[in-house]
C-alpha cells in the first residue's frame, strides 16, 4: 500500500489551491491528490454562460495543467475513508495510507431528492446553471412569455446567490427580446429573505421592486410534474398553518390542501438539491447525527477535524456556517495550510483562524454587479481596498468587469497556483 505524508481528496478549487500553497511553502512535502476528472471547470462563470455572456469552453481547462509540480495525481475516485486506520480506498487503485488527510471533494448534485426533477432536468424548458448552463441559454432564447420560475432547494447549495443571479439576467434579457410585458418573473425560495446580510438585502429588495419581480419567501419546492409543466411548493412560514395567494393571482397559483401551492411554469430554472458525496456521508469523518449530518466535522475557525486531529477540511463539503463559494475557499486555504504546517513541524496546530469570510458576486444585469462580502453571522465584511473606491452595497459596472474578467484571471493564474 502506497503511503503519503499528505493525501488530498479532490482536485477542484480547494484541493489544487491547498496543494499549490503547501508546495510553495515546503517543496519537500510528499503530497498526492485523488481526483478522477481530467477537466477542471471555473464554475462561477456558468451564471454568465447561462445568460449568453460567456463562452462555456472558456470555463474548461485540463486538470493536468493545474496539478502542482511534485504532487502525485492519482486519477481515480475515492470510495471510502477509514480515519482509524489512516487509509483511503479508491475505485481502481487500491488503498492509500496517509499521515495527514485533506478531504475536499466538493459536493454532489442530488436531483433525486426532489421528485420529478431527475426526469425534467436539462430537458425542454427546465434548466440549471449548476448542471448545463448552455441549456439555460437555449431556454432563455426560446422563451416567449408566461411564468418564468426561478427557485432553489432546502438543502445547502454551492453559491447561495446563483439561483437569483440568473433570474436578474433573464429578466433583463426578456426586456431586450420584447417578451417582458407578457412574463411573470418569480423568485421562490425556502429562505426567509432575499439575502441574509441586511445591507445587501436592502439593495436587492429595491431591485426586485423596481423591476416588478415576484418574490416568494418560505416557498420550498417539493415536486415537479414535467409533463404538465407544474411545480409544487410547500409553504413553510413558521406559525402559519395555511397559505394565501397574492391579490389578483398573476401566477395562476393553486392551493392544494393547507400549505401546498401549485404553479405552472413556461420556463423553470433551479438549483438541484445538493449533498456531500456518499463516501463522505458513510465515513466517520462526517457528522453522524443532528444538524450538519453528512458534512465533514471541522472546527469552524481552525479547519481541523473535531475528532481526528490529523484531518483538515475546507470548502463545500465542510460543515461551516457560511456560503459555499470559491471566495470562501480563498480565505480558508491559507488557514488550513498554516495550521497544518505548524502541526507537521511542531506537533501542535497553528493559531491561524478563519472568520467565516465568503463573497457572493450577485450579477443583477448584463453590466451590473453587487459584490456581497460577509463573514460568520451574516456580518458585512467588505474588502477595505475595494470599499475605498466603490460602494459595494450598490450595483456597479466596475464589479461586473471584475466578475467577467478579473476573477477568472485571478482564479486560473493566481489562486490555483498558490499565489492568492
Q: Provide the annotated active-site residues.
A: 159, 360
Cell digits of residue 169: 439576467
Cell digits of residue 7: 493525501
Measured in degrees and rounded to the nearest 5, phi and psi for residue 386 equal -60, -40
Sign of CA dihedral 259, 165, 278, 313: negative
Determine how β-strand 219-225 pairs with β-strand 2-9: unpaired
Q: What is the DSSP letter of 242?
A: S
Any residues with CB less than 8 A from the CB of 17 and at least 6 apart, and which? 329, 330, 333, 415, 416, 418
Alpha-helical regions (H) of 285-356: 326-346
C-alpha 103/C-alpha 281 separation (Å) is 12
C-alpha 362/C-alpha 376 separation (Å) is 19
Q: What is the DSSP letter of 405?
A: I
User: Interior CA angle at 350 toward 349 and 353, to 5°?
Assistant: 115
Is the distance from CB of 263 to CB of 233 less than 8 angstroms? yes
Amino acid at each position: 500500500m502506497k503511503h503519503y505524508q499528505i493525501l488530498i481528496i479532490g482536485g477542484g478549487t480547494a484541493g489544487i489551491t491547498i496543494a499549490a500553497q503547501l508546495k510553495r511553502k515546503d517543496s519537500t512535502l510528499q503530497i498526492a491528490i485523488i481526483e478522477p476528472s481530467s477537466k477542471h471547470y471555473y464554475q462561477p462563470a456558468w451564471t454568465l454562460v447561462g445568460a449568453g455572456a460567456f463562452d462555456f469552453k472558456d470555463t474548461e481547462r485540463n486538470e493536468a495543467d493545474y496539478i502542482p509540480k511534485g504532487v502525485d495525481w492519482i486519477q481515480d475516485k475515492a470510495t471510502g475513508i477509514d480515519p482509524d486506520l489512516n487509509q483511503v480506498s479508491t475505485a481502481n487503485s487500491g488503498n492509500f495510507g496517509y499521515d495527514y488527510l485533506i478531504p475536499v471533494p466538493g459536493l454532489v448534485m442530488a436531483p433525486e431528492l426532489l421528485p420529478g426533477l431527475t426526469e425534467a432536468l436539462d430537458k425542454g424548458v427546465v434548466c440549471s446553471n449548476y448542471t448545463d448552463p448552455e441549456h439555460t441559454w437555449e431556454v432563455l432564447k426560446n422563451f416567449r412569455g408566461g411564468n418564468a420560475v426561478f427557485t432553489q432547494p432546502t438543502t445547502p447549495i454551492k453559491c447561495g446567490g446563483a439561483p437569483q443571479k440568473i433570474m436578474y439576467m433573464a429578466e433583463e434579457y426578456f426586456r431586450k427580446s420584447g417578451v417582458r410585458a407578457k412574463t411573470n418573473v418569480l423568485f421562490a425560495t425556502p429562505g426567509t429573505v432575499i439575502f441574509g446580510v441586511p445591507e445587501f438585502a436592502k439593495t436587492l429588495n429595491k431591485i426586485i421592486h423596481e423591476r416588478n419581480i415576484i418574490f416568494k419567501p418560505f416557498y420550498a419546492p417539493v415536486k415537479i410534474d414535467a409533463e404538465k409543466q407544474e411545480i409544487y411548493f410547500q409553504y413553510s412560514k413558521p406559525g402559519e398553518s395555511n397559505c394565501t395567494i397574492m391579490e389578483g393571482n398573476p401566477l395562476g397559483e393553486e392551493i392544494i390542501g393547507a400549505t401546498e401551492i401549485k404553479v405552472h411554469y413556461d420556463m423553470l430554472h433551479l438549483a438541484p438539491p445538493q449533498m456531500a458525496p456518499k463516501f463522505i456521508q458513510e465515513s466517520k469523518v462526517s457528522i453522524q447525527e443532528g444538524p450538519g449530518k453528512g458534512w465533514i466535522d471541522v472546527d469552524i475557525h481552525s479547519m481541523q477535524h473535531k475528532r481526528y486531529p490529523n484531518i483538515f477540511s475546507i470548502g463545500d463539503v465542510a460543515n461551516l456556517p457560511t456560503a459555499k463559494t470559491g471566495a470562501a475557499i480563498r480565505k480558508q486555504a491559507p488557514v488550513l495550510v498554516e495550521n497544518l504546517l505548524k502541526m507537521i513541524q511542531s506537533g501542535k496546530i497553528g493559531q491561524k483562524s478563519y472568520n467565516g469570510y465568503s463573497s457572493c458576486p450577485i450579477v443583477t444585469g448584463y453590466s451590473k454587479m453587487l459584490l456581497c462580502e460577509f463573514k460568520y453571522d451574516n456580518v458585512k465584511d467588505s474588502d477595505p481596498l475595494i470599499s475605498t473606491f466603490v460602494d459595494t452595497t450598490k450595483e456597479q459596472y466596475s464589479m461586473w468587469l471584475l466578475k467577467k474578467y478579473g476573477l477568472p484571471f485571478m482564479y486560473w493564474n493566481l489562486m490555483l497556483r498558490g499565489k492568492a
